[in-house]
């Protein structure tokens, strides 16, 4: 049977999106659809990137002050960084802002529905379709990456609160975006699966922006979907005080019957995205993909919630370990240790970065930033503000530059709400953190920047973060690789360059020569050798 033309086109588009494109990008909350929070690019920034910002955006093109959503994650394409913010008109107007990564100039601003309950949901990039997807209020919308033009919009049955979209890229003609609706009181939240691929009567009988299937989740808030290799993983908050939350797994193409469901082993729920991880050769003690998820406890201290590890195939519990309450996603470090941001000021807890060892069938906490940076200055036996280094928090998602062994983590504000922008950004040297119980080595804080720090996003050698003064960029200006100005960098840009078309001055040195060609090729092939090596035994 001959494959239909639409399927061949889908295969061609997928092939055009080289690993280098994704190495240049930070496409989702927590980095990617699997929520790894890691950039593996060899050119990822080190601690020195925090020395000075490349630019700061705080106003729109008319000089009006932009207030960016404090704990929302910017997303990064090869040419732009996108973030949600608002200006004050007669009423507050929210927009998705696309900002040139080289100059800090606003390329476009697309009006969006106002967030509900101060939601800090992040946008996501659909690079296959040159689109950015935003979930705010009761609207899920897709915008053209090059122009900001609305591609499609879907009215949901309930608002989205703190949950960010998950975009698939490997389902050929059946790619989807997955989002969860909020319901913390009546138990009517849903997981919603929406088509993003072109209509095809035989293989994909759905228009872009239409619902393919839904599943009732009960109570849910902030439950961002994690996606990996055809499967979607999502948490629920349970019924606080009565029933624990769950983690469910779905086959995205097959539809709304869970492949498995795990009920938490303590009476607490999940309020963020799980992380799906496929162990590398360096982590060879682990066999098969696994899921990590951390819960939120409304009472208790820094160990009142729990971090669980599940078999990604079956949902079987491998271990559960006490942790700080959180709405953040765990991060698997290159050596297999797990970092987790959590806590807040008051209610029996404190903002922390916690580090855990994974012993495959059991886990232990190695380090707690509040405890292990504490000096009891007033000798009262309590960890008070001012006696420890504040970092992390339940609303904050760190980011790891794995090739540089640097974890970028913000300090959530200790005065006011946890939704406000972070006050500081730390570059943590993860090689200086302990492998056993005890204090970190001197120099584990490799760098610090004040006035910024919210949910950092890494794109190649650059880092982006929101602070009280606006959205800031750190690192060198990236090359201009979007030769054909379609909003993404892919093989088409190389074709255009070689055909003498488009904006061919890639390195912006006011000359067009082989150096531009080589730089474009380097970006398209970024980390190709590393990607190949990672699949060898």
pLDDT tens digits, one per residue of 310-356: 999 999 999 999 999 999 999 999 999 999 999 999 888 999 999 99
- The whole-number average pLDDT for the span 400-415 is 93
Give the confidence band of 537 by pLDDT, cuts at 50, 70, 90: very low
- What percentage of the chain carries pLDDT values higher than 90? 77
Phi, psi for residue 11 in degrees, rounded to 5: -65, -40
| pLDDT at residue number 534 | 47
Cα–Cα distance measured from residue 43 to residue 466, given in angstroms and rounded to the nearest whole number: 22
Query: pLDDT > 70: what percent of the chain?
Result: 91
Tell me: domain 18-478, CATH 2.130.10.10, correct?
Answer: yes
Q: What are phi and psi of 36, to 5 degrees?
A: -75, -25
99 forms beta bridges with 81, 106
Among the ranges 206-210, 282-286, 441-445, 520-524, which has the highest mean pLDDT value?
206-210
Q: Provide the angle, in degrees to the nearest 10, between the axes of the packed helices 491-498 and 5-16.
A: 80
pLDDT, position 230: 98
pLDDT at 1: 40
Within 13 A of 384's CA, how many CA atoms are on the CB side?
Answer: 8
* pLDDT greater than 80 at residue 476: yes
How far, in Å, CA of 120 to CA of 8, rounded?
38
Statement: residue 418 has pLDDT above 80 = no
Q: Where in the chain is the domain with CATH 1.10.1330?
A: 482-537
- How far is it, in rounded angstroms, from Cα 355 to Cα 365? 6
d(C-alpha 408, C-alpha 453), whole Å? 8
For 87-103, write each residue's pLDDT tens digit: 999 999 999 999 999 99
Angle formed by the axes of helices 514-524 and 491-498, to 10°?
170
Residue 535 pLDDT > 80: no
Give the chain's length: 537
What is the arithmetic mean of pLDDT over 479-506? 86
pLDDT at 529 over 80: no
Q: Which residues pair with 354 in a beta bridge?
A: 340, 368
**For residues 460 and 21, is the Cβ–Cβ distance under 8 A?**
no
pTM of the model as a whole? 0.92
Q: What is the pLDDT of residues 129-154, one digit of tens each?
A: 999 999 999 999 999 999 999 999 99
Whole-number pLDDT of residue 536: 40
Contact predicate 58/66, CB 8 Å: yes
Candidate from 105-114, 340-349, 470-479, 488-497 with smallest mean pLDDT: 488-497
Q: Range with the lowest mean pLDDT among 236-245, 368-377, 477-486?
A: 477-486
Confidence of residue 440 (pLDDT cuts 50, 70, 90): confident
Calculate the dihedral angle through the C-alpha atoms of 492, 498, 503, 505, rounding to the nearest 10 degrees.
120
Instruction: Tell me if the domain spanning 482-537 has CATH number 3.30.70.
Output: no
Look at the block and give the residue holding tokens 């999502």: 234
Mean pLDDT of 373-381: 95
Looking at residue 454, its pLDDT comes to 96
- What single-letter DSSP state applies at residue 306? E
| pLDDT at residue 13, rounded to an integer | 47
- Give start-end residues of each CATH 2.130.10.10 domain in the chain: 18-478
| Model confidence pLDDT, tens digit, residues 18-55 | 555 556 799 999 999 999 999 988 778 999 999 999 99
Mean pLDDT, residues 10-14: 47
> Averaging pLDDT over each range in 255-269, 465-479, 519-533, which range is the top one?
255-269
Mean of the per-residue pLDDT values for the chain? Answer: 91
Distance CA 236, CA 224 (A): 10
The pLDDT value recorded for residue 2 is 45
Whole-number CA gyration radius for the chain = 22
**Confidence bin at 416 (pLDDT 50/70/90):** low
Q: Is residue 272 a contact partner of residue 398, using CB atoms and an 8 Å limit?
A: no
Look at residue 405 in the predicted model and tell me its pLDDT.
Answer: 96
Asked if residue 240 has pLDDT above 50, the reply is: yes
């Amino acid at each position: 049977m001959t494959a239909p033309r639409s399927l061949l086109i889908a295969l061609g588009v997928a092939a055009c999106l080289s690993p280098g494109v994704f190495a240049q990008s930070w496409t989702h909350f927590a980095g990617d659809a699997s929520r790894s929070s890691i950039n593996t690019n060899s050119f990822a920034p080190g601690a020195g990137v925090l020395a000075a910002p490349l630019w700061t955006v705080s106003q729109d093109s008319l000089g009006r002050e932009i207030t960016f959503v404090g704990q929302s994650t910017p997303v990064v394409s090869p040419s732009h960084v996108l973030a949600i913010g608002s200006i004050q008109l007669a009423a507050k107007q929210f927009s998705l802002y696309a900002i040139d990564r080289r100059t800090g100039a606003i390329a476009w601003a697309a009006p969006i529905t106002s967030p509900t309950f101060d939601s800090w949901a992040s946008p996501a990039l659909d690079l296959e379709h040159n689109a950015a997807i935003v979930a705010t209020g009761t609207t899920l919308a897709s915008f053209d990456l090059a122009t900001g033009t609305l591609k499609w919009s879907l009215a949901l049955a309930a608002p989205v609160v703190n949950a960010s979209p998950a975009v698939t890229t490997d389902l050929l003609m059946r790619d989807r975006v997955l989002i969860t609706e909020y319901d913390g009181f009546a138990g009517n939240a849903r997981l919603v699966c929406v088509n993003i691929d072109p209509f095809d009567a035989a293989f994909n009988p759905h228009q872009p922006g239409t619902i393919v299937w839904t599943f009732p989740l009960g109570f849910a808030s902030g439950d961002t979907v994690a996606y990996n290799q055809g499967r979607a993983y999502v948490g629920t908050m349970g019924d606080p005080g009565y029933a624990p939350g769950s983690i469910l797994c779905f086959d995205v193409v097959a539809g709304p019957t869970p492949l498995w469901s795990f009920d938490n082993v303590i009476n607490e729920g999940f309020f963020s995205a799980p992380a799906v991880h496929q162990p590398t050769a360096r982590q060879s003690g682990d066999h098969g993909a696994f899921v990590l998820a951390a819960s939120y406890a409304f009472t208790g201290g820094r160990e009142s919630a729990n971090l669980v590890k599940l078999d990604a195939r079956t949902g079987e519990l491998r271990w559960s370990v006490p942790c700080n309450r959180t709405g953040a996603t765990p991060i698997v470090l290159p050596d297999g240790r797990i970092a987790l941001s959590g806590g807040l000021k008051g209610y029996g807890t404190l903002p922390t970065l916690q580090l855990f060892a994974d012993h495959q069938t059991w886990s232990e906490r190695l380090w707690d930033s509040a405890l292990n940076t504490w000096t009891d200055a007033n000798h009262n036996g309590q960890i008070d503000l001012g006696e420890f280094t504040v970092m992390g928090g339940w609303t904050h998602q760190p980011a790891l530059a794995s090739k540089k062994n640097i974890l970028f983590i913000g300090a959530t504000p200790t005065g006011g709400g946890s939704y406000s922008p972070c006050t500081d950004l730390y570059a943590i040297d993860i090689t200086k953190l302990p492998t056993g119980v005890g204090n970190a080595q001197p120099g584990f804080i490799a760098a610090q920047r004040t006035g910024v720090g919210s949910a950092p996003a890494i794109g190649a050698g650059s880092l982006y973060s929101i602070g009280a003064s606006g959205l800031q960029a750190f690192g060198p200006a990236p090359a201009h690789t979007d030769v054909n100005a379609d909003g993404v960098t892919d093989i088409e840009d190389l074709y255009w360059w070689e055909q003498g078309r488009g904006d061919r001055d890639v390195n912006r040195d006011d000359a067009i020569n082989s150096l531009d060609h080589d730089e474009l090729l380097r970006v398209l092939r970024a980390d190709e050798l590393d990607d190949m090596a990672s699949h060898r035994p």
